[in-house]
Structure formats: structure tokens, C-alpha cells
Structure 1
């Protein structure tokens, strides 16, 4: 395409005058956006003008067509903006591949450079802001993302999650009225210092998640009460000695998993007795802190063999108590037992039933249904009662009838759920007082943490604001970060997060 300018003159970039005297002209060949699947190159004739202002340092200059060219540019401004938009959406490699599809040969580094050359976005001043952390390197380096909860758009990214950084950002925007956050102490401190006029709102999902973790710990502390769901099985006299020797351990000596746990348990306790801290043991053994804590808290390695480490869910689990009762009554025919549980709702195969009966018949130890895992029982407590299947409701009633502590836990969980769903935050002080009256250490710990952040929790249980939109942007940041395969420095990541439409 042959193009030329029809303007009589051009503004001097040095002094701003408007000369019309042409010194000379020459051709430029910038590449434009493809049209109809075909590449477009402009044959552009540009003029060199003579600046008549004697005080101007420029004697001559070349005209630049606004919106089309720039100095030393081989692409038109339209093509540059298109490639920058592709880079914002797809990053380097994927953006370069897409550019090849519509006929522009460009490298991944060039696509990223075009994104970096975009002007830094100016963060707006929201009225309701949501705050959360995102990981640039999980477990090591974190940043802070701020989202306008009303428009659901990210407004800024901070390179760290320090309270001072958040406080400085909020101090520059005195119009912030509400700060939605989780219960992290650095966000609470930053919001208090930077925006003392704002109402802090603790996120309801995080409150329920904290309560679910405390409920599971409480159930685990009363796991003996779960034995009420398993029928007692008489032990044959011939294997009584063997059963007594191995009753404390689900796995005998020589089992690969059991031996590994016993070895780790002994190593951790030996280091603890030598005076090492748990953090020091974590670094020496290359374990996570949670693993070291579980090993250190267990007085015997056999305590670690219970729960979900040894139980894998099976379709037969909820029918094993029935099979155990029928076995104790003298029925040992696997086919007959399978025919009996199918009308009760069993959807598994006959082979699963036969394997369970064969294990009961040949094992030297009594094989019975194991009690449900603490997480399973905690799930029964945390779910709405009307949504529980009938057999789970019966199992839960049996557990609560045999354990007053878990019965009290269920009452507290359900009252908190009603307070959360119906937005009655004014009931929180009464709930905290009721929790402290029962012997539930895990809930006491939760109540102490809530009490330290009482105003924000009450606001979270009362106001309609929450951090849900912020969590969505955290997931989006993970996707954008992975698209760039480790090349996402903070400046580039910030532009992609804030400028992508």
C-alpha cells in the first residue's frame, strides 16, 4: 500500500513551531496489521522539514504520522498495540505462536518487551478494597493483590506482603471505607495503620474453614468415641496371643510403610531429646514442619497408623458393619451376603464382598469394619443436617449419643453456621462464651483467635462484603505466572494482571 501525508506542515519536536518548508523526502516501509489473511507493508513517503526558528537546536526533522509511526519503528502503532494485547493475554511463547497464525513473525522475547514498554497503569482509589496474598515462589516469596470489591477488578499488586507496604498504599488513598481480608495478622496491622477510618471485614469462607479445621481436630481428640459405630467381634482363643501382640499396630513389623514411620518417629524423638528444635529437625531431615509436628506429638508410632493413612474409601465401607453382624450370626456365604446388601443400596461388585469375607475367613486377626476417619465424622457435623443421607444421620446420632463432647461440638458448629448464613454477627459474643464453657480445647484456641479480631469477624458476619473475588484473582495470577515459565518479574506480572481486559 502506497501512503503519503497530505498535511501542509508538521510540528517541530524541538520548539513546537509549525514549519511548512520541505527539505527532502524518503520512503519508509513499516509493517501493518494483516488484512484478509495477507501481510500488509506500507510504502510510506515521509518528508523532512526545515525548522525556521533560529533558537531551535534542530535544523531539520522528519514528520511522524500520529497513530501510525514512531522514530526508528518498523511496525505501525496499530500492529504494536495488537501484539502488546496478544502479549497481555498469552505472554511470550503462546503470543508468538498466535502472531505467526495471522502472518506476523515475532519472537517471544519481543512480545514480552512490547508488554513491558506499555505505560504503567495508574491504580484507582476504590471505596471497598479486598486484600490477599499471592505466591511468586510458594512457601518462600509472597506478594499482595488488591481488588476493587465493587467493580471486581484488580487495582494494584505489591511486591511483598508486609504490613508496612499495605499501610503505605492505603494511606495514599483516604477514600477507602471497607477493607476485606483474611485473618492474617500482617494484613490486619497494615489496614489498621494505613486506613484507621475503614471498616475491616474478615472473610466468611476463611472463618468457616478455620472452624472446620478446629472441628476435625476435636473429633480426632475423641476418636475413641467413634468405636461405637463398629460391632464387637469375639476373638478366637487360638489367636488371642497374636491379637494382643499386634492390637496396638495395624501393620506388623516388616511392613514397608510401618517400618518407615517407626524409623522417622525414633529419629525425630532422638533429636528432640538431644535439644534440637522442631524447625532445626525440619531442616536436618528435609521434612515439612507439619510432618515433624505429627511425629513429635505422637508418643508412640502406632498413633500415626490411624485415620486416613490406613483407610482408603471403598463402596463397601458403610455396609461392613452389616456384614460383620451377619458374620457373627454365622452367615459366611459371600454370595448370599452380596445379595442381601444390594437391596440396601450397595453399588459395588460381588468380588469386593468376596474379598472382604475371604479376609475375615483367613486372617489370624479379627477383621471388622474400622471406625470412620475423624475427617469423615467432621464432615457429617459440618454439613447441613437435611442434606445428610439417612445412614450418615444415624451414624452421627450414634456417635453423639456416646460422646457428650462431640455433641457439644455439633451444637456449636451448627449455631455458628446459622450465625454465618443468616448474617447475625451480633450473636458472636454469646457464641464465644458458650464455647468456653465446654471442654473443647481446639474450639478454645479458635475462640481466642476470633476474640483478638472480634470487630473484623463481627463485620464479616454482618456485612455483605467478602474476599471471594480476591481469591478468584489469586487463581488468575497463578495462571498468568505459569504462562511465562519463570520469566515473570514483578513489573511484567503487574502489567499483565492490571491491564488485561
Structure 2
């Protein structure tokens, strides 16, 4: 979707009519306002849709057509990943175009709007450590009518003590998860290629670099002798 700055209106995507938008706008400006006539013209040019599609396009874009605005440029498609990222990001970290997209998405789609609110209220629980809000949040999500989020809320309910502890306490499993990630990386890089001595040095090097990130690392950790690297 795109916003027409001259009118403030929102252009609907033309879909299969997109290749014929220019012709429709030109013929409208020339005075051809008969829907059936416009449909026959685009059908003669290869349009395979129905007259109702042409009628819907004209009614949706009537202000733009009457104002003799050019047809909108095709809006870039946004991936599911990008929509999720924008929905879970802090509004102050989004650009103007991104905030406009999120606002339009909320206005047009009730379920994403509800999910957007729930995501940010859930983040507020952890940011403010107000675990008293968790029960109300879970109840709201379970009654929203969105199966995926309700399933997530049920999972939180099953392990609510751990969730409360994670929200309220300063401790976390981030360090342990980081170490596990390091080990998996070493495994992928050296599986079947290195012996125990080399693997040991790589593990020590990784742990040492995390503890002393800004300090020089002893070059001895990089020392590899011939017999330490058997397959």
C-alpha cells in the first residue's frame, strides 16, 4: 500500500489490474467514466479479470482519478520476517516510513493490531519487572481468539514460576546460552577435522576472549603442533 501525499488517501494495490492502471487513468482523464466501457478496453488489452474488479478499482481510487493524479507506483512487498520485526520493535527506533506502515497495518488488520498491543505490553512487563501484570496479560491473550498466541500464553501458564523469576530477577541464562553457541560453532567448524588438544584450545580461547574482550590474548593459545591436529 502507498500513501498519496496530495490527498492523504491510501492507494489499494491494483493486483491483476496493475498493468492497466496507466490506461484507466488516461481514459478517465479523457472523459471515459463508464465502467463497462473501461472494462471492455482493458479486456481487449489482455485483462482477464471481471468488470467488478474494474468497478472496485475506480470506486477505491475515485478521488485520485478525479484529481487527475498519476497511478501509484507498485508498493514493495514486505516479508513476514520484516513485518514481525517492525511489530516487535520499539516505535522510537523505527523510521517515519516504518511507523506509517505499522499504523496502516494496525488500521487495516485487527489481528496484527491486537498482537502488536500484546507484544508491547509483554515487553513492558519485563522492562518494568511488574510481574503482577503477567496473569492479566495471559488472560487477555487467551481470550483474544488468536490460536497461536493463546498457545504461547498456555505455555507461560504451565511454567509461570520460571517466567515470573525471569521477569523479576537480574539473573538469566544468557551466559550459558552464549557458551553453548560457542561450542556448537566449534563443532560445526572442526567436526571430524581436529583432535581433542585442538578442540580444547579453541574452547579455552573462546572463553578467554569473552572474559577479557578488551585485553590482548596470549599467542600461546594459538600454538598448534603437528600431532595436535589429527583427524
Whether TM exceeds 0.5 here: the answer is yes
Q: Deviations over 1:433-476 (max 9, x none)?
A: 01112121110111122122111111111111112212322233
CA contact (8 A) 1:229 1:371 kept: no
1:380 is aligned to 2:161: no
CA contact (8 A) 2:107 2:113 kept: yes
Which of the pair has the greater relative contact order for Cα pairs under 8 Å at 6+ separation?
1
Correspondent of 1:467 among 173, 195, 213: 173
1:393 is aligned to 2:174: no
Helix, strand or coil: the match of 2:168?
A: coil
CA contact (8 A) 1:419 1:425 kept: yes
TM-score norm. by structure 2 comes to 0.56
Give matches, 1:352-501, under 5 Å.
368-369=74-75, 371-481=77-187, 484-487=190-193, 493=199, 497=203, 501=208
Helix, strand or coil: the match of 2:169?
A: coil
What RMSD in Å do the two structures reach over aligned CA positions?
Answer: 3.7
Residue 167 of structure 1 aligns with which residue? Answer: none
CA contact (8 A) 1:460 1:466 kept: yes
- Runs of 4+ with >3 A deviation: 232-235, 239-244, 328-332, 478-485, 487-501
- Cα gap change, 1:383 to 1:229, in 2 (>3 Å): farther
CA distance in 2, matches of 1:373, 1:229: 20
Q: CA deviation at 1:477?
A: 1.9
Q: CA deviation at 1:479?
A: 4.7
CA contact (8 A) 1:385 1:393 kept: yes
- Residues paired across the two proteins, number: 161
- Cα gap change, 1:485 to 1:409, in 2 (>3 Å): closer
- Cα gap change, 1:330 to 1:426, in 2 (>3 Å): closer
Give matches, 1:107-118, under 5 Å.
none
**More helix by percentage:** 2
CA contact (8 A) 1:381 1:410 kept: yes
**More strand by percentage:** 1
CA distance in 2, matches of 1:480, 1:232: 48
CA distance in 2, matches of 1:396, 1:437: 23
CA distance in 2, matches of 1:241, 1:371: 22
Show structure 1 runs of 5+ residues with no match. Answer: 1-227, 248-324, 333-359, 361-366
CA contact (8 A) 1:380 1:396 kept: yes
- Cα gap change, 1:491 to 1:396, in 2 (>3 Å): same
CA distance in 2, matches of 1:237, 1:330: 23
Helix, strand or coil: the match of 1:242?
A: coil
Residue 48 of structure 2 aligns with which residue? Answer: 242
1:231 is aligned to 2:37: no
CA distance in 2, matches of 1:412, 1:475: 30
Q: CA deviation at 1:421?
A: 1.8
Residue 347 of structure 1 aligns with which residue? Answer: none
Helix, strand or coil: the match of 2:154?
A: helix
TM-score norm. by structure 1 comes to 0.28
CA contact (8 A) 1:400 1:406 kept: yes
Q: CA deviation at 1:497?
A: 3.5
Helix, strand or coil: the match of 1:379?
A: helix
CA contact (8 A) 1:229 1:395 kept: no
Task: Tell me which structure has the larger Cα radius of gyration.
Answer: 1
Q: CA deviation at 1:243?
A: 4.9
- Cα gap change, 1:381 to 1:483, in 2 (>3 Å): closer
CA distance in 2, matches of 1:239, 1:420: 58
